[in-house]
Structure 1
Amino acid sequence: MKTRPRLLSPAALTVGAVSFTVFAWASAFVSIRSAGAAYSPGALALGRLLTASLVLVALLLIRREGLPPRGAWRGIVVSGLVWFCGYTVALNWGERLVDAGTAALLVNTGPILMALLAARLLGEALPPRLMAGMGVSFVGAVVVGLSMSSGGDGSTSVLGVVLCLLAAVAYATGVVAQKPALSFGSPLQITAYSCLTGAVACLPFAGQLVAELPGAPLSATLNMAYLGVVPTALAFITWSYALARMPAAKLGSTTYAVPAVVVLLSWVFLGEVPAWLTLAGGVLCLAGVAVSRTRARSRERVAA
């Protein structure tokens, strides 16, 4: 009996998963900016995670996947509290104070932190130029902060930058915590139970969500539902799928494309164009990423 050939290779599936995640997460910055005008940061986070949890639990039931093994729970809990809850609330709050493109540029300093944490905690390779790249990206984040603070209300602008940087730290920490858990459970299991953990942690905002839901415009509520279904439920599954097959630092580098996509989407849908100094800071952030990746490419060429 002949076996049917696979339509897509594992490498192609991984590339597809990464590509979907990048575009879904880029669209999230725009949706957060839109929905955040009607919902407070905690309420938006809870609504997003509750929507995602419904989708993920339904997928668990359809695929008949039960509880993940005991070894996965440490990573699930840390990822759920720090990434799904902490990152989401911090980013929602930060995007009330800075535009979507700036928020994406700041959050995408996270992959450099991710590489450092992965080297320290997971034993992944730490290229020598990574520290230099991190320094350049830090200067870029400072430039972004100065450009925002010079635009008027300096305190709120600086607060927005700080919140987005905190979101970057939470993002990096959550990914590194999630990586070992994927050796015990499936991407769907790890994503679903991390999301449920984050939703439980956001329950203190339930009163705000109930109070704000009736008065919110339909577009804001639809954006909140979109955030739960696509950038959270589906994109976190595809991210976990790729993370189980790639080093955390290498996968993190793929999200450097997010800011460019966000700036384009925010310009098209929100009419937001960052100031030139903000763009210059963003270029420095991405230049630091390029510096941190140069060594790895050089080694690949030498090996070849």
Structure 2
Amino acid sequence: MARRTDLLLTALAPAIWGSTYIVTTELLPPGYPMTVAMLRALPAGLLLLVLVRQLPQGIWWARALLLGALNFAFFWAMLFVAAYRLPGGVAATVGSVQPLIVLFLAGALLGSPVRPLAVAAAAAGMAGVALLVLKPSAALDTAGVLAALAGAVSMAFGTVLSRRWQPPVSPLTFTAWQLTAGGVLLLPVALWTEPALPALTQGNVLGLAYLGLVGAALTYILWFRGVARIEPGAVASLGFLSPVTAVLLGWMLLGQTLTPWQVAGMAVALGSVWLSQRVQAGCQTANRSGSSSARSRVTA
């Protein structure tokens, strides 16, 4: 029951991230990706820091900076580069390799077993995302593909290292450190590469507030809470919920068409999430059984 609750709460994060596209396109001024990324991270991080009133200590300064770069600054920068150089479907499909990368990184850095069925589930999720968002006319751009891959690798390392380096603080404080670090790293990039924002409309302010408070602060508190409690492979597979939500919101709110191929892709992506959770739950059960047997032998 506790695991199911953890999964549901963690799944809210990528499901909400799926709304980022529609909020960005409908409420924010175009052409300011780095500035928007910085404004999404830094104000939310500072607000959380004021609430928790706790700064990193010792090695956690360096770890918070590195994780802030991996999970936010570098990841979001590469995400926007890919989005500008590739059609959305190609960028999303390339980025969906992240759960597969997490499986192998968790094996290398955490000693987690790499199960063939888990690899198959991650590959199926990629195929589902491709069916969901990829168009036959999609064109490839080498720099864009490399940026999408770099973003996926960055987030994968951030997920696995966030699990390996369990902080001596709450997920709220851990999120505050990383969001602030990511926002600080993005600040000079935004100032150097983009002009000043125009006068913000009420819609712009509403969009930025949503992305910062809900799309960053709330969701990453849930995400890092899940990373601490659930196997990295199971957490990463939940990322397939993001493109599913994005397509559904486009269909419901913007009147976009939903083709049979997209419906099939949605079913495959959701099926891969279900299979990943079953595989990871089975691994947990097997590990607990093995531990219990070992303790019984020692007791005997």
Smaller-chain TM-score range? 0.7 to 0.9
- State the distance in 1 between where 2:229 and 2:118 align: 22
For 2:217, the aligned partner's letter is: A
Q: CA deviation at 1:111?
A: 1.9
Say which SS state the counterpart of residue 182 (structure 1) adopts. coil
Q: 2:52 aligned with 1:68, yes or no? A: no
Say which SS state the counterpart of residue 38 (structure 1) adopts. coil
Q: Encode CA deviations 1:16-71: one digit per residue, 9 max, x unaligned.
A: 5324323322222332344565242211111111221232122213xxxx223435
Deviates more, 1:187-196 or 1:207-216: 207-216
Paired residues of 2:102 and 2:160 also in contact (CA < 8 A) = yes
Name the CA shift for 1:281/1:83 in 2 (closer, same or farther; >3 Å). Answer: same
Choose from 166, 176, 183 the match for 1:192.
176
CA RMSD of aligned residues (A): 3.8
- State the distance in 1 between where 2:130 and 2:158 align: 24
Structure-2 residue corresponding to 1:49: 41
Deviates more, 1:138-147 or 1:37-46: 138-147
Q: 2:19 aligned with 1:27, yes or no? A: yes
Structure-1 residue corresponding to 2:110: 122
Structure-2 residue corresponding to 1:58: 50
- State the distance in 1 between where 2:217 and 2:148 align: 22
Paired residues of 1:41 and 1:90 also in contact (CA < 8 A) = no
Structure-1 residue corresponding to 2:217: 233
Q: 2:259 aligned with 1:259, yes or no? A: no
Q: 2:220 aligned with 1:220, yes or no? A: no
Q: Encode CA deviations 1:260-282: one digit per residue, 9 max, x unaligned.
A: 21211122334444777777777
Q: 2:151 aligned with 1:181, yes or no? A: no
Name the CA shift for 1:259/1:135 in 2 (closer, same or farther; >3 Å). Answer: closer
For 1:41, the aligned partner's letter is: P
Q: Encode CA deviations 1:195-223: one digit per residue, 9 max, x unaligned.
A: 11111211223436984422454423431
Structure-1 residue corresponding to 2:97: 109
Paired residues of 1:78 and 1:177 also in contact (CA < 8 A) = no
Paired residues of 2:17 and 2:215 also in contact (CA < 8 A) = yes
- State the distance in 1 between where 2:280 and 2:146 align: 30
Q: CA deviation at 1:144?
A: 8.2
Deviates more, 1:271-280 or 1:77-86: 271-280
Say which SS state the counterpart of residue 168 (structure 2) adopts. coil
- State the distance in 2 between where 1:11 and 1:283 align: 23
For 1:56, the aligned partner's letter is: L
Choose from 14, 17, 27 the match for 2:6.
14
TM-score (norm 1): 0.75
- State the distance in 2 between where 1:138 and 1:130 align: 13
State the identity %.
26
The equivalences for 1:199-210 within 5 A come to: 199-207=183-191
Q: 2:242 aligned with 1:250, yes or no? A: no
TM-score (norm 2): 0.75
Name the CA shift for 1:258/1:47 in 2 (closer, same or farther; >3 Å). Answer: same
Q: Encode CA deviations 1:159-182: one digit per residue, 9 max, x unaligned.
A: 655544433222211111211233
Paired residues of 1:104 and 1:262 also in contact (CA < 8 A) = no
Name the CA shift for 1:144/1:257 in 2 (closer, same or farther; >3 Å). Answer: closer
Structure-2 residue corresponding to 1:92: 80
- State the distance in 1 between where 2:33 and 2:18 align: 18
Choose from 61, 65, 71 the match for 1:83.
71
Name the CA shift for 1:178/1:35 in 2 (closer, same or farther; >3 Å). Answer: farther
Paired residues of 1:76 and 1:178 also in contact (CA < 8 A) = no
Name the CA shift for 1:232/1:34 in 2 (closer, same or farther; >3 Å). Answer: same
- State the distance in 2 between where 1:274 and 1:102 align: 18
Q: Which runs of 5+ in 1 are unaligned?
A: 1-8
Name the CA shift for 1:116/1:257 in 2 (closer, same or farther; >3 Å). Answer: same
The number of residue pairs the alignment matches comes to 288
